[in-house]
Amino acid sequence: MAYGIGGGGIVGIAKEVTPNTYLAPTKFFPITSETLNYTEAHYLRRSIRQNVDVYGVIQGPVNTAGDIEFEATEDVIPYFLSASRLSVVKSGTTNFTYTCTPNANAQASTTLSITIVRNGTVFGFVGCVVASWALTTSDGILMMRASMVGSDEATQSAPTPTYAQNSPFAMGQYTFEIPSGTTITDVDSFEFTAEDNAEPQFRLKNPGRGAQYVKFGERNARLSFDRDYPDKTEFGLFKATTPTTIKITASKGANNSVMIDIPQAVRDVYNVQLGAQGDLIRAHEEIQCVLDNTTGYPFLVTVKTQENIT
């Protein structure tokens, strides 16, 4: 086979019916990069027997891990959110709303089969969950990074992809509210991250050496953004550890949007400084998402789309 380049790659996903059991892709989408790979913890034999070298290698437990980065279109995001530490509720017909609420579960309720074609060869990853994820902007485009942890990999049949013609969220399609209901217009970039500290769990079982499941740990959800510096009002709120509410919406219309709602946002970093003579004075803020006792969640993600995920 001839050598290939990344542009010929294919990525497809499917929600598994039985965890760790491969399903052919039901959704294909374009990506900007991926690092999903297979890892194995070999047992190296170094017992004392008149030598100082490894004299044998025994197969050990295996799992998969890596990132997938892609344009965060409303038809793709819900697949990954459903395989993260979120309770996803679908409502509507034709136009669907996916309401994604953080939970305290030890495992994801959904696992994914991820099919990646590299230079014409097929990698079939199973039991994949989202260990952490981020929604961010790059040149005004809404992007998503999904950090995956899974069970195993095996060669599968080559898929025949089809792609939806959905455009990404771009400049002029964002609303940034601090507090919620008060729109600000001086933010030019942001990153929202949810880290669930996932770990593969291995058990003495037969057959197979792949992770039995993936366990979540403590959650840490944060938002960072840069904005023009107007005055010391928010700096004072930062010094006083005064919480606020934040809502970020990317919208292409009433039925095509992504919204992040943070009901208890506490600033734990607020940096502003002078640069060169011609540099604009700007502020960098980092927000800790704190569990809100009224709503019962630290953040909420709502996706509106025509994608019907079953």
User: pLDDT digit string (tens) for 253-277?
Assistant: 999 999 999 999 999 999 999 999 9
The count of structural domains within the chain is 1
Tokens of 96: 């669907």
Tokens of 238: 């930062």
Integer Cα distance of 154 and 115 in angstroms: 10
What's the pLDDT tens digit per position in 156-187? Answer: 999 999 999 899 999 999 999 999 999 999 99
Tokens of 71: 């344009």
pLDDT at 2 (0 to 100) = 87
What's the pLDDT tens digit per position in 136-153? Answer: 999 999 999 999 999 999
Q: pTM here?
A: 0.95
* pLDDT at residue 206 tops 70: no
129 within some domain = yes
Integer Cα distance of 9 and 35 in angstroms: 13
53 within some domain = no
44 within some domain = no
49 within some domain = no
* pLDDT at residue 205 tops 90: no
54 within some domain = no
* pLDDT at residue 1 tops 80: no
Domain of residue 98: give its range. Answer: 6-37+63-159+169-305
310 within some domain = no
42 within some domain = no
231 within some domain = yes
- Residue 236 DSSP SS3: helix
